[in-house]
Amino acid sequence: MKEQLAKIKEEALASFQAAATAADLDELRVKYLGKKGELTAVLKQMGKLSAEERPVMGQLANDVRAALENALEACSKKLEAAALEHRLKAETLDVTIPGRVPAIGHQHPMNIALDELKTIFTGMGFVVLDGPEVELSEYNFDRLNAGEGHPSRDWSDTFYFDAGSRVMLRSQTSPMQVRAMEAMKPPIRIVAPGRVYRKDEVDATHSPMFHQVEGMVIDKNVTMADLKGTLNTLVERLYGAGSKTRFRPHHFPFTEPSCEMDVQCHKCGGAGCPTCKGEGWIELLGAGMVHPRVLEMSGIDPEVYSGWAFGIGLERMAMRRFKIDDLRLIFENDVRFLEQF
């Protein structure tokens, strides 16, 4: 038995040293030290020994087991260290390599244009208001002097929610004129930006959802000259000194007299191109003196107060500001386009 124990010890120690992986080492542990291992098989023969030999062989067997367990632990640590070293080499990072520059977001051109416009008007003493996009036709049409039968109320132009044409997606920011006159007393100076909705076909200058900025002044002795001066100042602040504008007579039910203001096409400089549809000018806004009936319906005496109002197409303003030739680019969220701002 003594020779058997010595042989097991010698073979086991050599096998432990030769093990290449932790799995191989675990198999060797089971082979030599497991319940059915070689050392256990030898110990089962202890009953055949004499009473004098049993203590001696028992002590020897325990020494062999302790030696194998210590060797097994040492080899296990050695394999773990080797595996860790291999992993560290495989995952080594060169800290001197330049890192990746994190992508920084860009402000949308619409927000840039809107912030500039707000800054200009708040500098003139205007207050910025916000209003509902789901609007009553009473505010969108009736109290803006656009009664039943007016073409703008047609279902082919307007998004209604109910058969009675009472609730709708606002087709303009002009209802904010009425809401401002209900909530405020003259003098009033407000601008109200927001989304509006119309059943327009999508092209380079039109969209069924777009943005307007409504502006209104109500005070004593307000004239059309004040309106033109304010709008020309706005254009020069936005597009630079010498920017060309033109005012054309027009008709809006809520202003009298009414006009439209165009800015010279930024793409062709007035020569005519697809962006301006060959006209050399791009419509920027509609404006006019607030109609006396609109003032009366809001409880303001038109004999004492007068006012003017305008509605700016924010997309067209941004297109002119940043020389964008197609309105659709603003809504497509193409990163290559947005990174330019």
pLDDT tens string 247-268: 999 999 999 999 999 988 877 8
Percent of the chain with pLDDT over 70: 92
- Tell me which of 333 and 3 has the higher pLDDT: 333
pLDDT tens string 7-62: 777 777 778 777 878 787 778 777 767 777 676 666 666 666 666 666 766 677 77
Query: What mean pLDDT is predicted for residues 283-305?
Result: 93
Could you tell me the pLDDT band of residue 217, with boundaries at 50, 70 and 90? very high
Output the pTM of the full model: 0.66
Count of beta carbons in the 10 Å neighbourhood of residue 16? 21
Query: What mean pLDDT is predicted for residues 267-284?
Result: 82
One-letter identity of residue 98: P
Could you tell me the pLDDT band of residue 226, with boundaries at 50, 70 and 90? very high
**φ, ψ at 163 (rounded to 5°):** -65, -25
In 3D space, the residue among 42, 24, 23 whose CA is nearest the CA of residue 33 turns out to be 42
What is the predicted pLDDT for the residue at 49? 65
Q: Is residue 130 predicted with pLDDT exceeding 70?
A: yes
Could you tell me the pLDDT band of residue 316, with boundaries at 50, 70 and 90? confident
User: What's the mean pLDDT when you consider all of the chain?
Assistant: 86
Query: What mean pLDDT is predicted for residues 285-309?
Result: 94
